[in-house]
Every structure is written in structure tokens, then in C-alpha cells.
Amino acid sequence: MLALKRASSACFPAGSSIVYTKRLRKAIKILIAVVIGALLLGGLYALFGDTILPTLRTKIAELFNYEG
């Protein structure tokens, strides 16, 4: 039992679990940020493609067809 404890302490020094937890939390935050960013970009792409660009094209066409 003592030999196993010494071997594990050599592989994982004291406090390494704290460092691992901090890195894991940071990695999770980065993943969440990437997912939220991808969702926002996808939503903006859909909004521009379906709503804003067709309206803009129509208004520009109306401006050029002005007969005043």
C-alpha cells in the first residue's frame, strides 16, 4: 500500500488535481463560447439570407425604377 501511495504521488504531485480542475473549467468555458458564437453566426446568416437581403434587393430595385 505504501509503495502504491509513493508511486501515485510521484506521478501526480500534490495540487495537480486543482490545476486539472482549473484547466477543465477553462476548456469548458471555451467550448461554450465557441458553441454560442456558432449559434449566433448561424442565426445571423439565416436572418440575412431570408429576411434582410430580399427586402434590401426590393428596395434597391424600387429606387432604380423611380419615375418621378
In a domain, 8, yes or no: no
Q: Which domain holds residue 51?
A: 39-68
Q: Hey, what's the cell of 65?
A: 425604377
Q: Could you report the per-residue pLDDT of 13-23, keeping only the tens digit for each?
A: 666 677 778 88
Q: How many domains does the chain have?
A: 1
Q: Could you report the per-residue pLDDT of 12-52, keeping only the tens digit for each?
A: 666 667 777 888 999 999 999 999 999 999 999 998 888 88
Cα→Cα distances 11→1, 15, 21, 24, Å? 16, 12, 17, 19
In a domain, 29, yes or no: no
In a domain, 59, yes or no: yes
CA distance 33 to 10: 36
In a domain, 20, yes or no: no
In a domain, 27, yes or no: no
In a domain, 57, yes or no: yes
In a domain, 45, yes or no: yes
CA distance 17 to 9: 12
